[in-house]
Amino acid sequence: MTPLSERQWRFLLSLGQRLVPPLKDLDEEGLARFRTIIAAALAERPAAVQRQIRLFLALLRLAPLLRWAATFDRLSAPCQDRFLRWLQDDAPGRLRQGLWGVKTMVFMGYYGQAELAPQLGYTPCRTGNEMLHG
């Protein structure tokens, strides 16, 4: 069973694009890897943790209603960023930690793709010493 519903995946992707803007430039293969990595990481977690993540995603989507009368996915990009920044810097501990968890998941799905490493300027090799002095 996939740990997130289709709707949750779509939301995670739109949220992810605020957290990691280059995510929107990924091709289909890259997006599939993004999803596979996150699904695998979630699948390894206990059911209770998976539930917490689903709940937190729902909260992230709905919480902006209180201030902007719109769900997260209907906010403008600057408002989305402002909301995320509030969560990161000023929200109560649990919410802050929740964002940290979701952010980490998105980072894992994107930066964990070995195929993207050259775009990051990261090109390690087994014989790195040979590259040290030009």
Positions that interact with other proteins (CB under 8 A): 18-22, 37, 41, 44, 81, 84, 88-89, 93, 96-97, 100-101, 103-104, 107-108, 110-112, 114, 116-117, 119-133
**Chain-centre distance for alpha carbon 26:** 14
Residue with Cβ nearer other proteins (48 or 69): 48
**Chain-centre distance for alpha carbon 46:** 19
Position 41, amino acid = A
Residue with Cβ nearer other proteins (6 or 115): 115
Name the CA radius of gyration of the chain, rounded. 17
Q: How far is the CB of 50 from other proteins (least distance, A)?
A: 14
Assigned token pair, 59 = 């909260």
Query: φ, ψ for residue 14 (rounded to 5)?
Result: -70, -35
Residue with Cβ nearer other proteins (69 or 133): 133
Q: How far is the CB of 65 from other proteins (least distance, A)?
A: 22
Position 32, amino acid = A
* Torsion-angle region of 121 (φ positive above 0: left; ψ -120 to 50: alpha; else: beta): left
Q: How far is the CB of 126 from other proteins (least distance, A)?
A: 5
Q: How far is the CB of 121 from other proteins (least distance, A)?
A: 4
